[in-house]
Amino acid sequence: MESHSLLSLTVALLGFLSPCLTRLTPRVSFPVGSPGRPLTHFRSHEVSNTTTLLLSEDGDMLFVGARDAVLALDVGHRDTMTLRSKLDWSPSEKDLAQCSMKGKKMADCPNFIRVLQFFNNTHIYACGTFAFSPRCTYINSETLTMSLKSDEGRGRCPYDPYQRNTAIIVDGELYTGTVADYRGNRPVISRHLSEGRRVDLKLDDTLGWLEDPTFISSSFIPNEEKIYFFFSEVGREYDFIDKFIVSRVSQICMSDVGGQRTLQRRWTTFAKAQLLCQADNELPYNVIQDIDTLPPAEGAPADDTLFYGIFTSQWSVNSGQSAVCSFRLTDIKSVFSGNYKVLNRDTLQWSTQVQEKVANPGECGLHNASDNALRFVKENFLADDSVRPVARSLTMVSAEHSYSHLTVQRVQAANNRDYTILFLLTESGYIHKTVLLQSGAHIIEEVQVFEQPQPVKSLKLSTSKGMIYVGTSEGVLRLPTANCSFYWTCPQCVLARDPFCGWDPASRACVEVSNTHTSLGQDVDRGNVEEVCNSVSLTHRAKFGPNKLPAGELVSVSLNEVVQLQCPAASRLSQQLWERPNRRLSPDLYLHLEDGSLSFVATPTTLGHYLCLSIENGYQQTMAIYHVRQKSSPLAQTPTSYTWPPIHHIPTTQAVAKPGPGPGLHSSVVTWPKTTETRQGKTEPTLSSRDNHITTRQQGRNLTLWTEESEQKESGFREGEPLLSARGPCYLKELVVVSVLLVLCLSVLITVLMYIIRQRCHSRTAPQTSSPTRDSDRRTPVEQEALRGNQLLSKRNRQALNSGQASGVVCNGAITGSNGHLPNTPI
C-alpha cells in the first residue's frame, strides 16, 4: 500500500512539472479612489478590527463585530453607511491584568468578536475572545443592548483572536468548529444551546477525529438536515509525508443526540472526506482558504447545490498560485455513502475497509443503533474515496494572484440564461469580479478596496441590494456588484461580457439587466460586437471620401526631434495598432513601445497623419488621431491622395475635436472612414513628457487641432481638392551664410600660411654675429675700423628699409647694391 501511494505521488509530481496555466488578466482595473468605481466607506477612530459581518435579511442593516464593540450600520441608502447604534463590550481591568499574567500581549487581550449570528427575529447571539477567556451573550437587534449577562464561551469561540473558527445557528442551536482550550490543542465540532430532550454534543477527544484543523466555514442544507463543515488538517493517512495538509468536508446530522451507552453526548453521525482540488496528472491544491455555498437554481433539486472554494498549495512549486474548485452536493453524498478506511489503534495505520460492514457511518439515526454498530462507526469515520471537483477539473487557476476570500452569486442574463459570478478577494487588496463561461473564467474587472494588506478579512454579499461588504481591520467598505454606467458605448458594454449589464438602444446607455428591460443587447459568451451593435448609425461614413482626411490632434515638432505619440488602451485585453495613409510603418523608422505608444524621429518622411486603433475580440475602434507637422512653416502640398486601408466590422461614430490654442482654428465634428468611435470625453490621448527633445502635450504649447478646413486654408487649396503630400522647405538663406563663412575661413588660412613662410626664410639668411671678445683680439686696427664702418652702414640701411627709402631690393632677406654685390665689401 505504501509503495503504491509513493508511486502515485511520484507520477503526480512528474506530471505537475509542466502544467499549462492560462494567464487571467482583468479586463479593467480600478485603483483606490477611482471615479469610475466609487466605494462607500465606514471608518471611525474609536472602532477597529471590523471583521465579523452579519447582514439582515432585507439588506438594510449590517451588524459588525469589532474590537470591544458590536455595531449596527444603516446601509439602506446607496451612497452612505451610517452608524445607528453601538454596544461597548470590553473586558475589565482585572481581566486584562490576568490576560497579561498568562504571557499574552496586551494588544491581543481585548474582546474580539468572532461569533455573530441571528438567534431569532429579535436577538443576536455574539461571542468574543474576551482577554483569552471567551464570553457569549444575547443582544437585542433593535436596541443593540445585552438582554442577559454574558456566560462562558468555551467551545463556542476561540481564545486566540488570530485563530480561525466557524459558527452557524439553526433552529436556535449553535453549531461551531473551534478549539476548546487555552493552548489551542483541543479542536472540537460541537453543538450548544440545546433544550429539552436534545443535549449538547461534541467530538470524542480521545478518538483523534480531528488532526490540528483550521476551520474555514460551515453550511446548513435544509433538505438533508445536515451541517457540513469545511476545514484543513494534517492527513494522517499519508504517513510517508510529514504533515501533509489535506482539505476536508465533514458532516453531522441535526437529529443526532448521542449514543445511549457508547458515544454518550458524542456525535454518532460524524464523518469526514477529502476535498481534492486537482487536475489530472498534477499536484493537488491541498490547502483550503475559503468556501461559499451556491444554492441550486429555482426548480432544481437540492443535490445541485454547489460549493465554490479557494485552494492553495503547500509546495513551493505552486507558490503564489490559487485555484478555484467547485464541488456538487450529490458527489459529497456519494462519497459519504461509500466505503470507509479503518484506523488500527495499535499501529496508527489506515487501511481500506475489508471486513463486514456492520453500519453505515455518517447515516442519520445511528444514535438508536446498538453498541456494536456504534463501536464500528467510532473506528470508521474517514471515507475511503475523495470528493472530486465538478467535471474533474479546476474552475480557474491564477498564477499571478493569491486569493483569500470569495463569495458567489448566480445571475440571470438578458437571454434568460444563468451565469455564475465569483467575487474573489486577493491578498494584495483587490476584488476580482469573474464570470464563469464555457470557454473558461473571464475577469470582468478588478477593484482595489484597500492599499495595505489586512490580516483578517471577510466578505458578505447582499443579492437583494446588489452590494458586497468587506470587513477589514480598519473599517467596512461597500462595493456595488454592477457598474454598467462605466461602459459609455454599445461596443464597450458588449465587450465587458458582464451578465449584470446590457445595451439599451432606446436610451443609448448601458444599463442593469432587469425585468423592465426586455430588449437589451448582450453577448456574455462571445462578446460579439458586430451582431449586438448592428444598429449603430452609419450616416457619417460618407462625409469624408477617399481623398479627404478627418481632423486630428496637431503635434508641432522640429526636424530631427524625437516624437512620441500616445495611444490609450480601451482595456487591458486590447492591443494597439498604428496606421498611416498609403505608408507602411517600417521598423527601421518607428519604435512600438510596450505601453502602446509610437516613437520616431521627425523627418520630412515621417511628417503627416497617424491613426491609433485598439483591437479587442476582433473589434477595432479609433483611440487617437494625430497630425505631426513641422513648426517653422505650413506644410506645402503635392498631388498625392490619402486612402486608408479598410477596417472590417467597424461601425463609424462621431469624434468631436476640441479647440486648440492656435488663432483661427475651430472645432469640428469629424468622422474617420471605416473606423469606430473616438472616445468622447473619456480617455483623451496624451503625450508623455520625456525630456526637451520629446514633444509634450501641454495646454497652449506647440499643440493645436488640425482640421481639414484649416489645412486647406493654409495650403491655398480650394474646397473639394485632395490633400497633397509635403514639399521640402527652401534652404537659400542657409546656403548664402555657409558660402560667406567658407570664404572668410579660406582668407584667414592663406594669410596665416604666408606669415609663417616669411618668418622661416628670414631665420635662414640672417647674418651670424661673431663673439666681440675673441675676434677683436685677432683683427688689425685697419680691419676694426672698416668693420665699424660696415656696421654703421648696415644700421642705416635697415632704417631706410623700414621707412620705404632703401634703394636696394629685398631678396631672401639680404640687401644688395646696384652692382649686385654686398655693400662695403671688397671686390
What DSSP string describes 116-160? EEE-SSSEEEEEE-TTTS-EEEEEETTT--BSS--EE-TTTS-SS
Tell me what percent of the residues of the chain surpass a pLDDT of 70.
74
- Alpha-carbon radius of gyration of the chain: 45
Q: Is the predicted pLDDT of residue 814 greater than 80, yes or no? A: no
Which phi and psi (to 5°) does residue 216 adopt? -115, -55
pLDDT of the residue at 685: 37
Task: Quote the CA–CA distance of 330 and 294 in Å, as a whole number.
Answer: 14
Task: Quote the CA–CA distance of 77 and 83 in Å, as a whole number.
Answer: 12
Contact between residue 265 and residue 202 where contact means Cβ atoms under 8 Å apart: yes
Q: Is the predicted pLDDT of residue 730 greater than 80, yes or no? A: no
- Residue 191 CA, chain-centre distance (Å), reads 43
Cell of 111: 474582546
Q: Which of 280, 274, 227, 216 is nearest to 251 (CA)?
A: 227
Task: Quote the CA–CA distance of 324 and 422 in Å, as a whole number.
Answer: 10
Q: Is the predicted pLDDT of residue 660 greater than 50, yes or no? A: no
- Give the CA dihedral 365, 369, 371, 373, nearest 10 degrees: -80
Q: Model's pTM, two decimal places?
A: 0.74
pLDDT of the residue at 763: 64
Average pLDDT over residues 487-502: 95
The DSSP secondary structure of 508-555, one letter per residue, reads TEEEE--TT--S-B--TTT--HHHHTTTS--TTGGGS-TT----EEEE
Pick the residue with more confidence: 201 or 700? 201
CA distances from residue 802 to 538, 598, 760, 766 in whole angstroms, order as listed: 97, 74, 19, 16
Task: Quote the CA–CA distance of 209 and 378 in Å, as a whole number.
Answer: 9
Cell of 139: 443582544
pLDDT of the residue at 551: 61
Exposed (0-12), middle (13-18) or buried (19+): which is 516, by Cβ within 10 Å?
exposed
Cell of 744: 572668410
pLDDT of the residue at 356: 72
Task: Quote the CA–CA distance of 231 and 714 in Å, as a whole number.
Answer: 76
Cell of 274: 477529502
Average pLDDT over residues 757-782: 55
Q: Which of 285, 283, 251 is nearest to 269 (CA)?
A: 251
Average pLDDT over residues 663-681: 36
pLDDT of the residue at 578: 94
Q: Which of 202-206, 268-272, 686-690, 817-821 has the highest average model confidence (pLDDT)?
A: 268-272
- Backbone region of residue 299 per phi and psi (left: phi > 0; alpha: psi in -120 to 50; beta: other values): left
Pick the residue with more confidence: 627 or 355? 627
Secondary structure tally for the chain: helices H, strands E: 10, 44
Each residue of 293-315: pLDDT tens digit? 999 998 899 999 999 999 999 88
Task: Quote the CA–CA distance of 192 and 172 in Å, as a whole number.
Answer: 9
Average pLDDT over residues 350-369: 82
pLDDT of the residue at 816: 41
The pLDDT mean for the chain works out to: 79
pLDDT of the residue at 5: 44
Decide: helix, strand or coil at residue 676.
coil
Task: Quote the CA–CA distance of 405 and 454 in Å, as a whole number.
Answer: 12
Average pLDDT over residues 167-175: 96
**Long-range Cβ contacts of 102-108 (<8 Å, 24+ apart):** 102/132, 102/182, 104/132, 108/132, 108/160, 108/161, 108/162
CA distances from residue 195 to 46, 612, 652, 672 in whole angstroms, order as listed: 39, 73, 72, 77
Q: Is the predicted pLDDT of residue 646 greater than 50, yes or no? A: no
The CA-based angle 201-205-209, given to 5 degrees, is 90
Each residue of 104-136: pLDDT tens digit? 999 999 999 999 999 999 999 999 999 999 999
Each residue of 579-599: pLDDT tens digit? 998 788 988 999 999 889 999
Sheet containing 619-630: order of strands: 575-579, 608-616, 619-630, 552-557, 703-706
Average pLDDT over residues 420-435: 95
Decide: helix, strand or coil at residue 304.
helix
Decide: helix, strand or coil at residue 782.
helix
pLDDT of the residue at 786: 45
Average pLDDT over residues 79-97: 94
The helix (H) or strand (E) run that includes residue 18 is: none
Q: For the ranges 416-420, 449-453, 531-535, 725-729, which has the lowest average pLDDT?
A: 725-729
CA distances from residue 352 to 232, 247, 349, 367, 376 in whole angstroms, order as listed: 22, 20, 10, 25, 14
Cell of 623: 483611440
Q: Please, what CATH class does the domain formed by 482-532 belong to?
A: alpha beta
Place of cell 646696384: 818
Beta bridge partners of 252: 227
Band of residue 454 on the pLDDT scale cut at 50, 70, 90: confident
The helix (H) or strand (E) run that includes residue 634 is: none
Average pLDDT over residues 718-726: 35
- Backbone region of residue 530 per phi and psi (left: phi > 0; alpha: psi in -120 to 50; beta: other values): alpha
Q: Which of 207, 208, 252 is nearest to 230 (CA)?
A: 252
Which phi and psi (to 5°) does residue 161 adopt? -65, -15
pLDDT of the residue at 204: 75
Sign of the dihedral defined by the CA atoms of residues 169, 171, 174, 177, in that order: negative
Task: Quote the CA–CA distance of 126 and 534 in Å, as a whole number.
Answer: 57
Same CATH topology for 482-532 and 539-731?
A: no
Q: Which of 392, 2, 380, 351 is nearest to 209 (CA)?
A: 380
Q: Which residues contact 259 (CB under 8 A, 6 or more apart)?
A: 266, 268, 367, 369, 371, 374
pLDDT of the residue at 240: 72
Which phi and psi (to 5°) does residue 366 adopt? -75, -10
Average pLDDT over residues 744-748: 90
Domain boundaries along the sequence of the chain: 482-532, 539-731
CA distances from residue 340 to 177, 671, 816 in whole angstroms, order as listed: 23, 72, 138
Average pLDDT over residues 698-709: 35
> What residue type is 552 in one-letter code?
G
Q: Is the predicted pLDDT of residue 548 greater than 80, yes or no? A: no
Q: Is the predicted pLDDT of residue 803 greater than 70, yes or no? A: no
The CA-based angle 217-221-227, given to 5 degrees, is 50
pLDDT of the residue at 343: 80
Place of cell 435579511: 57
Q: Is the predicted pLDDT of residue 719 greater than 80, yes or no? A: no
> What residue type is 652 in one-letter code?
T
Cell of 203: 467530538
Each residue of 774-801: pLDDT tens digit? 444 444 444 455 445 445 444 444 444 3
Decide: helix, strand or coil at residue 352.
strand
Q: Is the predicted pLDDT of residue 809 greater than 50, yes or no? A: no
Band of residue 89 on the pLDDT scale cut at 50, 70, 90: very high
Task: Quote the CA–CA distance of 87 and 670 in Å, as a whole number.
Answer: 63
Tell me what percent of the residues of the chain surpass a pLDDT of 90.
53
Which phi and psi (to 5°) does residue 789 adopt? -70, -40
Tell me the H-state helices in 665-731: 708-715
**Maximum CA pair distance of the chain?**
166
CATH T-level topology, domain 539-731:
Immunoglobulin-like (2.60.40)
> What residue type is 616 in one-letter code?
E
Task: Quote the CA–CA distance of 99 and 101 in Å, as a whole number.
Answer: 5
pLDDT of the residue at 765: 54
Q: Is the predicted pLDDT of residue 498 greater than 90, yes or no? A: yes
Task: Quote the CA–CA distance of 209 and 70 in Å, as a whole number.
Answer: 34
